């Protein structure tokens, strides 16, 4: 995207007009709710290589079936199925995050729990109603992503004095200052807890490791381009295991939003003995669920 002038907010790549719109929103969030707008390096305009890395991290080629989320997409003549619980991603070249004509996209959050990125929350409902006042379009509500907003007319000129901090691209790569804590629940699930954002559950160790490898690859390219780095998740061995109660306390202390654990689907076997005790059936189902959970972690 040569020739486009970029500015940055918490590492997120924006045009000056986009930053102007978000600064106006930030001022009202502080005035009305006492919170501030938060972004990170993947939530603004993305290069095609970044969109490709994110897409391939969450989707896998699969000739049939719809996967655990019923999300099937075609890209470059190949059928892909989403395997990650981190949310949908548009095929490379089609996402508003890559700039489509004069429209781009941002994924928004704020510094308070259950904020503008949480579907149905007070601030989310407020921003959805008032998005047009800030040059935003709440298109994410069409696909269950309350944090996703389109920004049309991104090349509009900024009024004189409109940008409070007209930042230039960073001269050297640096790690994001936003904190993400990774912990393993007592049932083995790996949970990412971004500061002020939604928690992410990795349904298997293999899924978590693929995500880590993708982040490392993206950072390699961003290092070459002198862009801010995405926080690299720790290796699995360095993640502390804790009880669910302690983990929930940690999530609250981060100002994050608790996301539900993935549902383990277990088929109840046919039982020919009608007098079989229901408690015994429940125990068999729970034992099978525990076994499958352990097998996923080994994978």
Q: In what order do the strands lie in the sheet with 240-242?
A: 200-202, 190-194, 180-185, 240-242
What is the structure's pLDDT at 179?
62
Determine the Cα–Cα distance for residues 105 and 18; give it in Å rounded to an integer.
9
Exposure string over 147-179, b if 16+ CB within 10 A, otherwise e: bbbbbeebebebeeeeeeeeeeeeeeeeebebe
Residues of the chain with pLDDT below 70 are 1-2, 41, 114, 161-179, 186-187, 195-197, 219-220, 222-232, 236-238, 240, 253-254, 256-279, 281-282, 285, 296-299
- Enter the tokens of residue 15: 């045009």
**Pair 296, 205: CB distance under 8 Å:** yes
pLDDT of residue 262: 45
pLDDT of residue 298: 67
Q: Which two tokens mark 84?
A: 């990650």
């Amino acid at each position: 995207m040569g020739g486009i002038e970029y500015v940055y907010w918490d590492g997120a790549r924006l045009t000056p007009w986009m930053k102007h719109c978000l600064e106006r929103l930030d001022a009202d969030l502080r005035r009305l709710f006492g919170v501030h707008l938060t972004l990170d390096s993947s939530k603004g305009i993305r290069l095609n290589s970044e969109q490709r890395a994110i897409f391939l991290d969450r989707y896998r080629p699969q000739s049939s079936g719809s996967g655990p989320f019923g999300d099937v997409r075609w890209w470059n003549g190949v059928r892909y199925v989403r395997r990650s619980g981190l949310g949908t991603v548009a095929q490379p070249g089609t996402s508003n995050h890559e700039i489509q004509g004069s429209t781009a996209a941002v994924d928004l959050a704020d510094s308070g729990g259950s904020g503008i990125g949480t579907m149905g929350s007070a601030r989310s409902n407020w921003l959805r109603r008032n998005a047009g006042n800030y040059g935003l379009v709440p298109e994410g509500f069409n696909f269950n992503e309350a944090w996703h907003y389109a920004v049309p007319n991104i090349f509009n000129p900024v009024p004189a004095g409109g940008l409070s901090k007209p930042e230039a691209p960073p001269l050297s790569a640096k790690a994001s200052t936003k904190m993400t804590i990774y912990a393993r629940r007592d049932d083995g699930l790996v949970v990412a807890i971004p500061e002020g954002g939604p928690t992410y559950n990795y349904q298997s160790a293999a899924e978590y490791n693929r995500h880590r490898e993708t982040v490392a690859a993206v950072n390699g390219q961003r290092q070459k381009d002198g862009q801010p780095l995405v926080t690299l998740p720790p290796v699995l061995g360095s993640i502390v295991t804790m009880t669910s109660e302690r983990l929930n306390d940690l999530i609250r202390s981060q100002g994050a939003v608790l996301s539900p654990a993935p549902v383990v689907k277990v088929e109840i076997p046919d039982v020919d003995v009608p007098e079989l005790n229901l408690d015994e059936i429940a125990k068999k189902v729970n034992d099978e669920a525990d076994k499958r959970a352990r097998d996923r972690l080994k994978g």
